[in-house]
Each structure stands twice: as C-alpha cells, then as structure tokens.
C-alpha cells in the first residue's frame, strides 16, 4: 500500500486522514524563491506556519508527519531545530542542486529525523549518483512540477514518459530507499487522469504520492458519495486492481499513457506564451 501524502495545517482534517490507513500528513513551510519560480502558474504556494507543525502533530495517532522546510539557506540550522522541536517525523528538503547541498542539510539534521530529498532541479537529477547514498535518507521523492520547468518541458508529466522518473526509481531501490513522485488527482479527473498516474506509480514500484489540492474539497460532506474518504477508498481499490496486472498489460498501459502525455505536451507547446502580469508586450 502506497503512502498517500495529504498537505494540510487543519488539525480536524488531519484527524480524518489519520483514521485512514496508509496516510502521511504534510505541513509545507517552503517559501524561499517559490513565488518567483512558479509565477503565473496555477500552483499551490503554502501559507503554513511553524506552529502548524505541532498543531497537526497532536491530532495524529498513527500517521507520520512530514514537514517540507525551505531550501538550504543561512537560517536552515535554526529552522531544522525549530521544526524538530515541534514534532516533525520526517524532513523534506526542496530545491537542492547537488550532493554538497544535500549533505550539508543532512549534517544539520544529524540523524535526528529521516530525510526526504525532493528531486526537482536539473542539477539534482544530473548529480543523482553522487548524492543517492547520503546517510540519513528515507525516501527519494521526485517533484514533477518544478522538475519539468527546470528541464524545459511543457507538461508536468513529461519526465515520467521520458524515463527520467524510472531512472530515479531504480537508483533509489538500489540503495534500499523508498521512492515516490508527483501528485495525483481523483481517479477520473486531471489533464492526465488520476487512474493513469496511479498505474505508473504501481508499475514503477512507487511507495508515495501527494494527493492534489483538488482531491479534498472542504464543502463536500464527510459522509457523502464524493467525500474525501470515499475518494480515498476508490483510489485504494484501483491500487489493488492495478497492482494485479500482468507485466504485459502494465507495459501496454505505460505505452498508451506515454502517448497521451506526448499529445498533451505537444498541445501545450503550441500555445502562445502568456507573459507574466505587468510585463510589456
């Protein structure tokens, strides 16, 4: 069973997640450079605060709490200490560019919590073999949103169809590390439907995925047909079905999904570029 990662700073919702099997809660403190990096894109920029770590942690009984800190910077030592004091179980480092940066972060953590490096830059990908054996790592997570931008791709899932994600998965397995990537929408939603994304997770042996921000809709009743709990149950059922595929079927599905990704990427590449607000045309 894969870990389903839910980003939230709401203790009440965290308790609902904690009641489900195989959930991992996720508080997101990353700020540095993110607004500039993702300007003009419909992406999530968190407003979570340090105190949210303890608030969510106290709501949990069995799920682990992961915290994404800021990229390595002069204040990282203080941030790591503060997040650990608030009860974080796992620390995620975003936007590192090479092994030296990841090793420096690992030295700051000093074995006090497992580390999840978020591979989302071309530099981190190019130096994968240099840092994959860094002591203290728990899981390698591929962040497709920033990675595809760093690689000059047009569609978030292009690194999946290009074999890049599979290469990282193999490297992680060779080191005995867990592996995960990207985000997932509800099964029949998303430009690339959640069911297809899940199929690739199962083919590659992924053990973690972030639930997209549209997966949980606060206005839906907790006991309704479209509730978060119902949608998670549907995802789990599909997970079991896809895991039971014969290798030939998984390969055929992967080829079809790669073709879909290629079509979407070509369509997106053909669209005229929209300049950021305030930019002279």
- Supply 248's token pair: 């030939």
Cβ-based neighbours of 149, under 8 Å, separated by 6 or more: 37, 38
The domains of the chain, with CATH numbers, are 3-270 (3.20.20.60)
The distance of Cα 229 from the centroid of its chain, to the nearest Å, equals 20
Q: What is the pLDDT of residue 217?
A: 82
Q: Quote the CA–CA distance of 253 and 239 in Å, as a whole number.
A: 14
pTM: 0.91
Specify the pLDDT at position 107: 98
Owner of token pair 């791709």: 153
DSSP 195-206: HHHHHHHHHHT-
Give the torsion through C-alpha atoms of 246, 252, 257, 258, to 10 deg.
Answer: 130
Contact 206, 181 (CB under 8 A): yes
Give, for all 281 residues of the chain, the pLDDT tens digit. 999 999 999 999 999 999 999 999 999 999 987 655 554 455 556 789 999 999 999 999 999 999 999 999 999 999 999 999 999 999 999 999 999 999 999 999 999 999 999 999 999 999 999 999 999 999 999 999 999 999 999 999 999 999 999 999 999 999 999 999 999 999 999 999 999 999 999 999 999 999 998 888 877 766 666 899 999 999 999 999 999 999 999 999 999 999 999 999 999 999 876 444 433 32
Cβ-contact 206, 179 below 8 angstroms: yes
């Amino acid at each position: 069973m894969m870990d389903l990662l839910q980003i939230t700073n709401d203790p009440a919702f965290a308790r609902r997640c904690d009641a489900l099997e195989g959930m991992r809660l996720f508080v997101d403190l990353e700020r540095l450079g993110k607004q500039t990096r993702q300007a003009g894109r419909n992406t999530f920029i968190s407003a979570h605060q340090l105190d949210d770590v303890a608030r969510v942690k106290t709501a949990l009984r069995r799920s682990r709490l992961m915290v994404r800190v800021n990229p390595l910077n002069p204040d990282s030592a203080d941030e790591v200490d503060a997040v650990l004091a608030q009860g974080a179980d796992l620390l995620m480092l975003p936007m590192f560019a090479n092994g030296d940066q990841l090793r420096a972060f690992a030295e700051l953590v000093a074995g006090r919590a497992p580390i999840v490096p978020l591979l989302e830059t071309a530099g981190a990908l190019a130096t994968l073999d240099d840092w994959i054996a860094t002591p203290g790592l728990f899981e390698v997570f591929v962040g497709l949103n920033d990675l595809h931008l760093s690689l000059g791709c047009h569609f978030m899932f292009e690194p999946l169809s290009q074999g890049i994600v599979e290469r990282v998965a193999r490297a992680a397995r060779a080191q005995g590390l867990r592996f995960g990537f990207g985000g997932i929408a509800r099964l029949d939603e998303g430009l690339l439907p959640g069911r297809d994304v899940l199929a690739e997770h199962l083919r590659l042996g992924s053990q973690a995925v972030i639930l997209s921000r549209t997966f949980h809709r606060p206005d839906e009743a907790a006991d309704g047909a479209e509730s978060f709990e119902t949608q998670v149950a549907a995802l789990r059922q599909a997970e079991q079905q896809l895991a039971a595929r014969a290798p030939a079927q998984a390969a055929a599905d992967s080829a079809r999904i790669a073709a879909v990704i290629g079509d979407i990427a070509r369509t997106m590449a053909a669209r005229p570029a929209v300049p950021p607000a305030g930019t002279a045309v």
